Every structure is written in structure tokens, then in C-alpha cells.
Chains A and B, each alone.
Chain A
Amino acid sequence: MINLEQVTKSYAKNGAEVYALREVTLEILPGEFLAVRGPSGSGKTTLLLTVAGLLRPTAGKVRHGERDLYALSRGQRVEWRAAEIGFVFQMFHLVPYLSVLDNVLLAGPIPAPRETAVRMLEELGLSGRLKHRPAELSAGECQRTALARALVRSPKLILADEPTGNLDPDNAETVMRRLKQFQADGGTVIVVTHSDDHDRYADRVVRLEAGQLVDNGDGTTGKTGG
């Protein structure tokens, strides 16, 4: 279970306080597929990075199970992230000088077994691309590589930031189906998106606007006291 309790993230900008997240309270169940929707600048990516332990909130708590994420040391968070989280980004973030296979083996401080990585890539239709570099791949192939990298260490949670944003419909479907399969295997998925194209894959869709949770998918808002 992931719990966000009254999470606020604010920045000082030109002397004024700007809120990326404002008193967001959200509960994500184990094995849930959650879509976070909202327009650009609504705080979706901030929410994702906060859940990932990469962005300390200004106020509030983020809990993964019983663990208060930001009560952990930075090193403990690094270890936790390596063990439990896989990332998929809109811009893929593949390392340009590594082959497809080496990009997948990059996940975590200790690489996954090579056979597992190869199997994962074959499963995603990249068996003929193992030695290619990202520059030699299509956008869909890049995203499938990034997806393989996220999945190869069998994380408990996949955080996906606009994973289909740069893909054609066919590749977008492939990615979403694979994420759905990950959920079916027991994983939890949080997908950030600004469109409703893939709402059907999600168990629940929450909406953020100007850093506030305006709809938490069950007809209530996640904002309290505001």
C-alpha cells in the first residue's frame, strides 16, 4: 500500500511560493493500476517523483507499507528504489552509447542476469535489436527497451511518466498491454498521462489540477482542509 498524506511540494520562485503539489492525500493499493491525469504543469510528474523517493515533499508523508519513505536516509532510499521500483519515461532516457541489451542491464546497482534481460527483450519483440544503439531504433523500440529495463529486475512498482506520449497507437498499445500484464503478475502501476486514451487499462483514474487532487477516482477529492 502506498499512502500520500497531506503531501505538499512548494518552490520559492521570484520571492513567491509556487505549489507543485498542495495537500495531496492518496492511497494506492498493492496490485492497483492507477492513472494520474491532468494538464501540463498540474504536478503529475512531481507526484511521481515524490512517490519514487526522488523528491522530498515540503510537508506531509509518503508511506510505502509501514515505511515512511522520507524518514529513510538517502542511501536507504537508493537501495529501496533499486529493489522495488522500475521507471518508464516519455523521453525513454536510454543511454545513447550502450546497446539495447546493455541499457536493460543498466537497471539497479547489480545487473539482472543476462538471460533474463534477453528473454525480456525477446518478449517485447526486440530480439533482433539486442546490439543496436538507441539512435538506431524507432521511438516504439526505444520505449519497449525502456520498459524492459523497468521490468527486468522484477520490481514491485512501475512508475511511468507519459509512457506513450511519443508513440504511435500500435506501440502505445503494446506498452500499455505490457504494463497491464505486469499488474496481472502482481505489480503496482502508476501511470502519469495528460490524455484519456488509455483510461481503460487503469483500475482508477485520479485528476490533478494546479497541484491539487481534484478527483481521486472514487468520487472524492484527496484534498483535505482546503
Chain B
Amino acid sequence: MSRAVRLIFSELRFRKLNAALSLLSVTAAAALFVAFYTLTEAQERETRRVTRDLGFNLRIVSRETEMDRFYADGFSEKTLSEDAVHRLVQHPNLSYNHLVATLQGRYQLQGNDVLLTGISPEYAPPGRKKKPMIFSIERGKAYVGFHVAQRLGLRQGDPLELGGRTFHVERTLAESGTNDDIRITANLADVQAVLGLPGRINEIKAIDCLCLTPDENPLGILRSELEAAVPEAKVVMLRSMAETRARQRQSAEKYFALLTPIILIGCAICIGALAMLNVNDRRQEIGLFRAMGNSSASVMGLFLGKAVIIGVIGALLGYFAGLELAVAFGPHIFPQTSAAIGFSANLFGLALFAVPAFTVLASFLPAAAAATQDPAVVLREG
């Protein structure tokens, strides 16, 4: 062990109270940071999950869609090439995710009006694969809405004839109180064949990250992205959901951005003050080191080395204390995504690096004061 390290450890053992209070400050800073960071991430996940559960918030339809009819019918009469979803998903920096191509049309089934909907598998931009929001439907299978199933007496496992093809009823759905009750949902390719529109879709549903508030013109950004990738399409956003989500997200971010510096500055002041007290306690010793031919840099090294040691120990203790706090309180606040609250190697690595760096930064001025202390003044004091 080098002399400097031995000196640091000996001094830590000797001035136990100062060492303990410094370690407590660093641990508190680390724990609060880790707890806030972990809970903020949990909050973000929870909001994403809630938003996702609310359903798609973007509807991309043909540019030629007449919007009055679109809103009246619930779908567009105009179609797009199915290729549009692939072009869109490959567009760089796309802010959408969970893209699903659909083809929807009215269909007469044994004298009953039904909505026939084909859905593609869910697509994600490269590198942003997420857990799918919707189930995918195998070829030849159909999900039958409550009202249709009632009228036609269909049950799970029954055959169902559509456009000369036989489907297998995979499930009959519970009553929803929406037009889903008269919907038959099947694989996109099957529905394209039934409706005689191979390779065509009339809508791409997607979820936007909803990071921007209305004043930041999220729709304008989405439209410019869409214009570049699929110029023949236009986008409709479910605004109220989007705005609420964006505001919620931003208020959480602001909260974190405000609270973190307050905590960190408070802890930095404590650490700095304790380091200054320590410098004051050690004036004679510092004067002696300097008089005996130790450079200012080596004196500064003693104080900053001490800060690194306290920082590393504080980071370790603080990380696990912060994680414990997050694990104790997080699941009550964020029940849907509570399983994801836990050890994060990235955050652990960040804490191990950032906390000692923060401690060194907070101790820098006291260390500089020690290094520039005039040994003559101190030694003269006797």
C-alpha cells in the first residue's frame, strides 16, 4: 500500500466522526439519486404501459381519405399499398412504434352487416423492438365479436365461411359495447383475399412516444416524418390522449430535473463543508507536509484521494440503499410495472463512476485551500 493511501486510511480511522459524516452525506446523495432515478424510470415505464393500454394514438390513412366519411364510417375507403408500413418502419429516427397495418371493410355475412378487419403482425423500427401490444392472428383463424357470434350462433372452434374460404373461430369475444361487437378480425392477408384487395391496406395504426406538448407541434413533426417516408399518406392523432400523456411525462421530467440538483447541491454543500472542517483540523499537519518537502499536488492528492475513497464506499452503500428505497415504495406507486424495478447494471456503473466524481468535485475547493495553505503561517502558529 502506498504511503498516501496508508495516510488516508489512517486519517479516516482517526477522525471517525468527520469520516462518518462525510460518508453519510455521500451515501445520502447517492441513495437519493438512485432512488429518484429508479422511481422516475419506473414512472416512465408505468406511464408508457398505461398509454399503451389505452390503445393506438396514431392513425395513418391514405392522403385521399375524405375525413367526414372516415369519421362517419370509422375507417377509410381509400387504400394504400401494404408496402407503406415497411417503408415507414424503416424510416430513420421514426418517433412511432408498435406499427400495425390493417384493412377494414363492411361485409355481408348471412344477411348481417359485419366489420371485417385484417391485421398484420406488429412492426417496430430497427433496434426498438418492444413487447407487442396486440395479439397476432394466424392464417385461417378468426376472432369473432360478441354480437356477430350471438346472431350466428358461433362458438370457439366452429368453422366460418368468408368469401369462399373457411376460417376457424379461434375465439368469440366478450361484449365490449363498441363496434368491436360486430367485428370479425383475421390475418391481414386473409382479409385482403376476402375483400379482393390483395397487397392493400387502409390504415396503419401506431403509437407515438408522445413526448411533446401541443406547443411543440408534435403533429407537425409526425407529418414531416410521414411525408418523407410515405408521401401518399396522412396522419391523424388522438390529441386528447397525446396531450395528457405528454404533459404527464414532461411534468415528471421537470420534477426530477428540479429535485435532483436541489438534493445534489445540498449534499455537495455538506460534503464541501465537512472537507473544509477537515482541512481546518489538519492545518498543522498540512504545514508540516509542505515544510518536509511534499508538493502542493501531493497534499491535494491526500484530500482528493480521501474523497475518492469516501465516494466509492458511498456509491456502493448509496446504490443499494437507494435501490432498497425504490423497491420498498415503487411497487405501491407503480403497480403495473413493479416487476421491472430492480438492480440495473447501468445505473450501478453510473453511480460507481459519478458519485466519486461528485465527491471529488465537492471536495475540490477545500483540497485546493489545503494545497495552497502557507506552511510558514501554520508553523509559526506553533
Contacts and interface: CB of A to CB of B under 8 A. Distances in A.
A83 B10 contact: no
23 contacts: A49-B376, A49-B379, A49-B380, A78-B290, A78-B293, A79-B293, A81-B291, A83-B293, A85-B293, A90-B382, A91-B284, A91-B382, A93-B285, A93-B379, A95-B285, A95-B288, A96-B14, A97-B11, A98-B10, A102-B10, A105-B3, A106-B3, A109-B293
Nearest to B375: A54
A118 interface: no
Interface string A62-74: 0000000000001
| 10 nearest A-B pairs in the assembled complex, by CB-CB distance | A82-B293, A97-B14, A55-B376, A54-B376, A49-B376, A93-B288, A81-B293, A97-B10, A91-B382, A108-B293
B292 interface: yes
B295 interface: yes
Contacts of A79: 293
A95 B13 CA distance: 13
A124 to B, nearest CB: 18
Contact of A89 (B11, B285, B294, B382): B382
Contacts of B165: none
Interface residues of B, number: 26
Given A93-B288, A102-B6, A54 B293 contact: no
A78 B293 CA distance: 5
Contact of B291 (A45, A87, A105): A87
Interface of B: 3, 6-7, 10-11, 13-15, 284-285, 287-296, 298, 375-376, 379-380, 382
A52 interface: yes
Contacts of A85: 293
Contacts of B285: 93, 95-96
Nearest to A81: B293
B235 to A, nearest CB: 67
Given A98-B7, A106-B3, 13 more contacts: A45-B379, A49-B379, A54-B375, A55-B376, A78-B290, A78-B294, A81-B292, A93-B287, A97-B10, A97-B11, A97-B13, A97-B15, A108-B294
